[in-house]
Structure 1
Amino acid sequence: MATEQEPTTAGDWRVYRGDGQPHDRVRRLPPPPPWRPFAAADERHGGRRQGDLRRATSYRPDEGVIDKVNAAILLRRPLLVTGKPGSGKSTLAHNVAYELGLGSVLYWPITSNTTLQSGLYDYDAIGRLHETSLRGAGGRADTAEPPDIGRYIRLGPVGTALLPGDLPRVLLIDELDKSNIDLPNDLLNVFEEGRFTILELQRLPEDQSRIHVMTADDGPRVPVDRGEVRCANFPIVIITSNGEREFPPAFLRRCVRLMTEPPGRERLAEIIEAHLGADARAASDQLIEDFLSRRAEGALATDQLLNAVYLATSGSRPPETRLRDILDTVLRQIETPGAG
């Protein structure tokens, strides 16, 4: 069936119409919101994705946040950032890395199944054994030369952050409160010592004392001597938590703690301008007031406000007759007091 071709007028914002008639409107989508591009990494900015770069440059921390970040950097301690979802906790890491010129952020998302081992390194023993078997095919497998073990060891985000270098890396450990009960304490020794060992490399003979392994950010393979990774500069570690559980006192004692507060009216206006420009800020006064009123009744994330402003001010905005219902959906509370 041939697809219908017709111009999309400025007031006709819908791509999907729901009438069962094929058309080509999806080929003429307007540009995405500035925080939702999915282009390849921009090598001019240390391999950051465009979305990460946008978040980094548009983040607006207050003085209290700036002070806590500096304290953590100077003390070589992790910064534990606690706050509601959508309050900019993880964006802070991208902002720090961008401003200090430290390349892309090493990202370690935490789930209930995450272990310290997965953050340090992974050894693909089965893959190496399989290649050894293939090399021995047609002859005696026990005489085949084993493949380079470094091609089967990949450092995790924590392991990569602890590599020695002239400058520290920025490591984001996201939502640590979702981890199993042991992980915070498991991290203590690594952060205190600034090093860890790769047991599989320590067992190698003396003539294989230096092995080049892969990294979490897919950079060039790096040398590891005698299986020990030891940092020269302690990484800038930013740990986020939604406040869903308490951490052990021993862990908290080793962190600089930051409680984030939701941005106020002026800060929200600055965030809108940083993402969407001065015209969008000027047209957003009522939306900001509506957002603040709704946030007082239940949790809302700042990016929900950005979505609402984008829909209300972009060239492909819905008609006024539909805009209010759509904004009600975009600005629906994440949670309400007493829920759960």
Structure 2
Amino acid sequence: MPEWPVYTGASAPHDGVDRLPAPPPWRAFDGGPVLPTPADADDAAAVSPDRVHRAHTYRATRESVQLVNAALYLRRPLLVTGPPGTGKSSLAYAVARELGLGPVLRWNITSRATLADGLYQYDPLSRLYAAREAAPVSVADHLRLGPLGTALLPYARPRALLVDEIDKSDLDLPNDLLNVLEEGQYEIPELVRAGGEALVRTDGTDRQVPVAGGRVRCRAFPFVVLTSNGEREFPPAFLRRCVTLRLHRPDETQLAEIVRAHLGEPDAHARQLITRFLSRAHSGELATDQLLNAIYLTGAAGLDAPTREELAQRLIPHLDDADPLSDGR
């Protein structure tokens, strides 16, 4: 039977994603041959302390649980917007861990990022050098799939793809993504010209997968999280193809729960810092990790009360303050 919610936000891993109902007819994909989901250990970056910690400690809101499930059911990208430090990127790691989606594929967007960067990278110079040395030359030996290109391989389960800070891209990238995310497929012209089947390396590992005729089509549409700090508006055509989640600053109860997940039960000093953090958040930009840093350091350093208070003040400057060394009052 179908399961709702598939993603519960309770953190405990399970196989609920296998009980998703069939996709809407216009979002059904049939790529092959079917590939198994990689293990986290296959990607060294996936088992970094930062990513593992994010996946375990993320605390989902009721709204985020509902909209993650909407994206999974509809096979649509999830556009997550909100201020810095509200857990936009951590959400992808938490969902991938709970649903067993394998290592999160991460594409960090800059102003120079292009669609081709996300799909694959091809090095013609290394191929030319190999040809000069009379070595056997294969186009696939000099090509590696990018995070988006890997996510669209025909995996049995969805892969998780984090497209981080898409609002930093140039104006064309969101529109360029439309066709690929709508069709769930793409071509690699270098392999199309070569013809036949090639073994191509995937993002994050040296594992090779078969690509026939230079064409890749997904089977299970990936769980795509696109994050934005709200620095720009997106085209209507792009927005209507996404499920949109707006994250807000956590309130006192949520902050206490976040501190508890990261550092254990907050003591009196930690609760004072939470109160101060909330009061200062009304007058400038702050991020939750600033609060976590302040609580950890002022507790671990064993400082006397005046020094501890002064240090805490310095660790929570407003992010939009022109003078971060001011007293922040």
CA distance in 1: counterparts of 2:88 and 2:226, whole angstroms? 9
SS at match of 2:227: strand
Once residues 286 and 43 of structure 1 are traced to their aligned partners in structure 2, the CA distance between those partners, rounded to angstroms, is: 40
Q: Name the structure 1 match of 2:222.
A: 235
Q: Which TM-score applies when normalising by structure 2?
A: 0.82
Q: CA deviation at 1:112?
A: 0.6
Aligned to 1:62: 61
Match of 2:247 in 1: 260
Cα pair distance change 1:326/1:120, threshold 3 Å: same
* Local SS of the residue matching 1:229: strand
Name the residue aligned to 1:101: 100
Which residue of structure 2 lines up, in the alignment, with residue 319 of structure 1? 304
1:218 aligns with 2:208: no
Specify which of 159, 170, 176 is matched with residue 160 of structure 2: 170
Correspondence for 1:249:
236
How many matched pairs? 283
Partner AA of 1:330 in structure 2: L
Q: 1:298 aligns with which of 253, 269, 284?
A: 284
Q: Is the 8 A contact 1:45 1:103 kept in 2?
A: no
Residue deviations 1:246-299 (CA, integer Å, cap 9, x gap): 000000010001111111101111111111112x35642111101101111111
| 1:297 and 1:336 in contact (8 A); partners too | no
Counterpart position of 1:307: 293
Instruction: Pick the aligned partner of 1:328 from 287, 306, 313.
Output: 313
Query: Once superposed, which parts of structure 1, at least 4 consecutive aligned residues long, lie more than 3 Å away?
Result: 44-47, 280-283
Name the CA shift for 1:218/1:203 in 2 (closer, same or farther; >3 Å). same
Structure 2 residue runs without a partner (length 5+)? 1-38, 323-329
Which residue of 2 is the match for residue 139 of structure 1?
none
Structure 1 equivalent of residue 270 of structure 2: 284
CA separation of 1:152 and 1:214: change in aligned 2, threshold 3 A: same
Distance (Å, rounded) in 2 between the aligned partners of 1:282 and 1:211:
61
Deviation at 1:219? 4.3
| Cα distance in 1 for residues equivalent to 2:171 and 2:40 | 38
CA contact (8 A) 1:272 1:281 kept: no
Q: Distance in 1 between matches of 2:315 and 2:84?
A: 15
Name the structure 2 match of 1:13: none
Q: Percent identity?
A: 51
- Unpaired segments ≥5 residues, structure 1: 1-40, 136-144
- Aligned-residue offset at 1:42: 7.4
Computed over aligned residues only, the root mean square deviation of the Cα atoms, in angstroms, reads: 1.9
Contact 2:42 2:205 (C-alpha < 8 Å) held by counterparts: no
Deviation at 1:320, TM superposition (A): 2.7
Match in the other structure for 2:35: none
1:15-67: CA deviation from partner (whole Å, max 9, x where unpaired)? xxxxxxxxxxxxxxxxxxxxxxxxxx973998421211111111101101110
Answer yes or no: is the 8 Å Cα contact 1:155–1:216 preserved in 2.
yes
Note if contact 2:192-2:214 (Cα within 8 Å) is conserved in structure 1: yes
**Which one-letter code corresponds to 1:220 in the other structure?**
R
Q: Find the aligned partners of 2:246 and 2:106 in 1 and give their Cα distance.
A: 21
TM-score, structure 1 length as denominator? 0.80
Structure 2 distance, partners of 1:217, 1:127, is 20
In the alignment, the residues of structure 1 paired with residue 43 and residue 297 of structure 2 have an alpha-carbon distance, to the nearest angstrom, of 29
Distance between the aligned counterparts of 2:51 and 2:307, measured in 1?
32
Aligned to 1:115: 114
Q: Which amino acid letter does the alignment assign opposite residue 182 of structure 1?
A: D
The amino acid of 2:240's aligned partner reads R
* AA partner of residue 225 (structure 1): A
- Structure 1 equivalent of residue 170 of structure 2: 180
Aligned to 1:49: 48
Native 8 Å contact 2:43 2:204 kept in 1: no
The whole-number CA distance in structure 1 between the counterparts of 2:276 and 2:55 is: 26
What SS is found at the alignment partner of 2:194?
Answer: coil
Q: Give, in whole Å, the separation in 2 of the partners of 1:282 and 1:71.
A: 39
Judging changes above 3 Å, is the alpha-carbon distance between structure 1 residues 281 and 80 closer, same or farther for their aligned structure 2 residues?
Answer: farther
**Residues 160 and 216 of structure 1 are in contact (CA less than 8 Å); yes or no, is this contact kept in structure 2?**
yes
